Structure 1
Amino acid sequence: MMDAGGTWTDERVELLKKLWTDGLSASQIAAELGNVTRNAVIGKVHRLGLSGRAKDAKPAASAAARPRKATRAPSAPTPIAPQPHVNNVVLAPIPMPPVTQEPVAYVEDDVAIPMSERVTIMDLRESMCRWPMGDPTKPEFRFCGARSITGLPYCTHHARIAYQPVADRKRERKLARA
């Protein structure tokens, strides 16, 4: 219930009606009336059956008379190739070897990096490649550990895998499905 300052007197109801038809929001009306909440204003507006709001000086056209906007199907977002960056500064793209007809197949990442160069999380340093190798739940799990490209988390070999142009990724997906 409202206290004595927030009761709906005839004067306050008339002011509410005027402010509502002038287009003020429920919050603005509550502030103008004082000692009443936005929700109390909304409730009173509904109980009074106030619906029309003054939006413009011109009369509102019916939905049937209003011209329809031309609709079109939403366009698909243009895919953007991931760009290596450091502190929100985009770095120059990593040079990629020319694409040949036969894609280079990495049989197993384990073959690319000798076990002696791999490092645990405890041995990993900022200048080392952070490419994960193996199953993280197994004690043999390691990171590549090779020298990383300045400003990137990976060595040259793993950066080529991580930062592929969109066209190359799509081509590899098609080959994998075939």
Structure 2
Amino acid sequence: MDWTAEAIERLKALWAEGHSTAEIGRRMGISKNAVVGKAHRLNLPARPSPIRRDAEPRPAPAPRAPRPIPAARVAPPAMLRPASMAPQPAPVVAVAPPPVVRPFPAARPRLGSRSCCWPIGEPGTAGFRFCGAEPMSGKPYCTEHAALAYVKPRDRREDAA
């Protein structure tokens, strides 16, 4: 946009009337951001916040009294302690027992490079296992599972139709 002298005067007048930047933009047929940018470059006074519309400021919150510290946690200062008084043992604090760690089921033998790695069943259940059949040359799966795993793109389009 070319800011002509008339457009700048109109912007200043609408700004002085207290219109929002969006309203000024609508009235002038320009974007709100164009209004904000030009107002900034002209050093026009800042707009009041649209969020806080009340004229009088809110009173400052009253200061709160500090929270009392339980007596069991506060030790008396050393210089106020009588010399005959021996240091008291620390109070016993109940500690939650550590969480029970359940071991994983007995480890199954790892599949060698010469067995099909196709998972069968739901992992974490007792019936979960791998196929274990003889894999195809250079593939991790047997012939049956390789046919499921390696699908040519043209085969997918034919299946979708």
Normalising to structure 2: TM-score of the pair? 0.35
Q: Which has the higher contact order (CA 8 A, sep 6+)?
A: 1
TM-score (ref. length: structure 1): 0.32
